[in-house]
Structure 1
């Protein structure tokens, strides 16, 4: 059903009004991701500190599982890379995401880096 002559400007007005809202959403998302990057910086510092404490105070106490800091660092690096790729895209096509490894518990027989 066509719009009456006096209401033909309505779609143009709606597009004009809604366009800044879409831009504001993008700006808000970028701001939230920037905050997340700062929080990730703090989390990485805590992980490094915890890894040092775990290495310095490591005594085999018979515990079967230990926290796998290496795997956590790798996943945090992937998360950081994904956020940076979104904030500063290098190409227009989406990339295939790399799965996080997860499962940060490893058995004590693994004598690798804590």
Structure 2
């Protein structure tokens, strides 16, 4: 993460990875070889899970314990170019759930 040189003051980062290039969100079959993070990295990613398939539980537990980072998974970033944007995530209220469907709006 440090090598990305994200400027100070940036509070939200969306990562467009090879998941988008591979059009994984458009496939009917789940792809377990998707790009994801191991437990030592945190962010928002463009597929069904922020964590790598083989490291799912430890990564999610770190996020849940931290509570400073909100996960947004399953983003469709087709056609989105790198740059500065504002993202608004509008969650559906679900009592007793630790996650829920969200409508995210990205504006330049």
Q: TM-score range by the shorter chain?
A: under 0.3
Per chain length, whose mean CA-contact separation is higher, i.e. which structure has more relative contact order (CA < 8 Å, sep 6+)?
1
Larger radius of gyration: 1
Structure 2 length normalisation: TM-score? 0.22
Q: Specify which structure has the higher proportion of helix.
A: 1
